[in-house]
Amino acid sequence: MKLPFHREPQKPKDSFKIMHTEANSAEVLADRISEVLRQIPAHRPIVLICVGTDRSTGDSLGPLVGTQLKKYNIQGLHLYGTLDHPVHAMNLNDTLTIVHQHYNNPFIIAVDACLGQLTSVGCIQLGSGPVKPGAGVNKELPPVGDIHVTGIVNVGGFMEYFVLQNTRLSLVMSMAEVISKSFYDAMSGLKRWTATSLARID
């Protein structure tokens, strides 16, 4: 099965990028996420879709983030994509259909792994607009997200499927910890959250 990952996107003017090993990376990223969420009307549900699969080390970033956020039990977080119930190429369309059936005008945040330049490996990016899963393997999948958080897990450009399969788990887990902590810090400080929702996609 070809995996839903993408190459490092073009950097928009309002994007943000930080190396995950910086001492305050989670706090800085949380501040940036908070800035975005404060602009979302309270009536719009926030849906986090963590894209990826546990069958590939490099592409497990999304499910790892989702699994860690599930443990935080954040009020009002509508979460899709964990290690137990990943959102991947085979069920992405169904997941998006379910999200739009269950929530009125949701604000969707996509989390995904991507490949990029050597100097960017280990960086976490926050940007406007969707990610395009599958672009790296020439697979037609729908774009996901009003905004996106991506982690550059390895170098792109050559034998990318093999590169993803041989990405270091240590790097991916460290990046997932930073991303999940930043979402926890950003979301737990908002008063708009009133309920917890965890969706399963089998």
pLDDT in tens, 160-197: 777 888 899 999 999 999 999 999 999 887 755 444 44
For domain 6-191, is the CATH number 3.40.640.10? no
Phi-psi group of 145: left, alpha or beta (phi > 0 → left; psi -120 to 50 → alpha; rest → beta): left
Phi-psi group of 149: left, alpha or beta (phi > 0 → left; psi -120 to 50 → alpha; rest → beta): beta
SS3 at position 52: coil
Instruction: Decide if 111 contacts 176 (C-beta within 8 A).
Output: no
20-60 pLDDT, tens digit per residue, is: 999 999 999 999 999 999 999 989 999 999 999 999 999 99
54-108 pLDDT, tens digit per residue, is: 999 999 999 999 999 999 888 878 999 999 999 998 999 999 999 999 999 999 9
Rg (CA), the chain: 15
Cα–Cα distance between 76 and 188 in angstroms, integer? Answer: 9
The one-character DSSP state at 84 is S
**Torsion angle, alpha carbons of 132, 133, 136, 137, to 10:** -130
Helix 61-72 and helix 169-188, axial crossing angle in degrees, nearest 10: 40
Q: What is the pTM (predicted TM-score) of this model?
A: 0.85
Cα–Cα distance between 65 and 47 in angstroms, integer? Answer: 14
User: What are the Cα distances from residue 123, in Å, to 27, 159, 179?
Assistant: 15, 21, 11
User: What are the Cα distances from residue 68, in Å, to 73, 114, 122, 173?
Assistant: 9, 19, 19, 10
SS3 at position 166: coil
Task: Note the residue count of the chain.
Answer: 202
Task: State the pLDDT at residue 133.
Answer: 82
